Amino acid sequence: MDNDDGLIERYLEHVRVEKRLAQRTLELYSLDLQKLSEQARQAGVPVLQVQNAHIRRWVAQMHGAGRSGRGIALILSGWRGLYTWLGREGLVKSNPVQDVRAPKAPKPLPKALGVDEAVQFADFSAEEADPWLEARDAAIVELLYGCGLRVGELVGLDVQASGTAKGWIDVQAGEAHVLGKGSKRRSVPVGSKALEALQTWLAAREAGAHAQQPALFIGRHGSRLSAQAIWQRLQQRSLRAGLATPVHPHMLRHSFASHVLQSSGDLRAVQELLGHANIGTTQVYTRLDFQHLAKAYDAAHPRAKRKG
């Protein structure tokens, strides 16, 4: 094991020359390989005799100690490179790191507003100098939160149905017809608040200079509003509404799904409303729903809170 440091130094010199790595990268490589040497020393084996089982045990220990999957992946990459070089040098017969992968990081839960926050945002009326913009932005918020539309589905809406329209809203029937992912069409109900906001916007839009434009949501110059513009308008509006977190379109879609599921418990219905091909995609909202229930339990049940 006394030769381990020498082997690592030779390898670091090799990658410095061959790969022309920056000094900072070399320092990180060195730290990761020192960790390998320390682990091998604790296990009572030289680096050249480390086995696949050793690597797996050390990965489990790092994961248990709280190191992230990404951090472990970077360490394994450095170790894997060392053993690849040792193999080319004829010093090891196989690479013990070759088929070892870092634990997958858990998927973060989608961000959703609480019910009170969502209602506060939807009810917010900006003191705009331009009532045309206010009417448009209010209708955008109501449709995103009230129908769970993707931002791409929203920007694709036209005022009327036509052979070229990707989507439109049937005001009389109270339905939005949209073109979703995979060019799949679906219809979703439009609630009374969204219909009210939409009718206010349509009246303001008709009085504007570009009423002949087919797009439902347009900018001042008459062009179809872009997804980026909607992101910007929502973020600005959420700050003015006093929300702690800037709101983006997909957050309103997540809020729609979470709140419908909390009230109904009908996962299949939420799947249909969101246009998910696979119910597994929709099931993430059950985790959001459980968080909501857990908070309510912790706040209300006398046995829920633990003593400090």
For residue 172, the domain's CATH number is 1.10.443.10
Catalytic residue among 177, 205, 253, 259: 253
276 is catalytic: yes
250 is catalytic: yes
Rounded Cα distance between 150 and 133, Å, is: 21
In a domain, 140, yes or no: yes
Domain shared by 122 and 75, yes or no: no
For residue 230, the enclosing domain spans 115-298
Domain shared by 284 and 192, yes or no: yes
253 is catalytic: yes
For CA atoms 56, 62, 67, 71, the dihedral sign is negative
Rg value, the chain, Cα: 28
In sequence order, which residues have a C-beta less than 8 Å from that of residue 195 and are 6 or more positions away? Answer: 171, 174
**115-123 and 249-264 helices, crossing angle to 10°:** 130
In a domain, 234, yes or no: yes
Catalytic residue among 11, 83, 145, 285: 285
pLDDT in single tens digits along all 308 residues of the chain: 457 788 899 999 988 888 777 788 888 889 999 999 999 999 999 999 999 999 999 999 998 888 888 899 999 999 999 999 999 999 999 999 988 998 886 666 668 888 899 999 999 987 767 899 999 999 999 999 999 999 999 999 999 998 888 999 999 999 999 998 888 899 999 999 999 999 999 999 988 778 788 999 999 889 999 999 999 999 999 999 999 889 999 999 999 988 888 888 888 888 888 888 888 777 777 766 556 555 655 665 565 554 44
14 is catalytic: no
In a domain, 307, yes or no: no
Rounded Cα distance between 56 and 97, Å, is: 8
Quick count: other Cβ atoms within 10 Å of Cβ 9? 12
- Indicate the residue among 39, 72, 88 that finishes a domain: 88
In a domain, 102, yes or no: no
Residue with tokens 């088929």: 99
For CA atoms 125, 236, 133, 148, the dihedral sign is negative
pLDDT of residue 1: 47
Catalytic residue among 29, 136, 150, 254: 150
In a domain, 185, yes or no: yes
- Strand (E) positions, the chain? 157-158, 167-170, 175-179, 185-189
Phi, psi of 130 (to 5 degrees): -115, 100
Closest to 124 in 3D by CA, of 231, 236, 233, 241? 241
In a domain, 94, yes or no: no
The amino acid present at 207, given as its one-letter code, is A
**Total structural domains in the chain?**
2
Catalytic residue among 41, 101, 181, 220: 181
Residues 244 and 111: beta-carbon distance below 8 Å: no
Rounded Cα distance between 128 and 77, Å, is: 54
Question: Residue 148, by phi and psi: left (phi above 0), alpha (psi -120 to 50) or beta?
Answer: left
pLDDT of residue 92: 92
Catalytic residue among 16, 67, 224, 250: 250
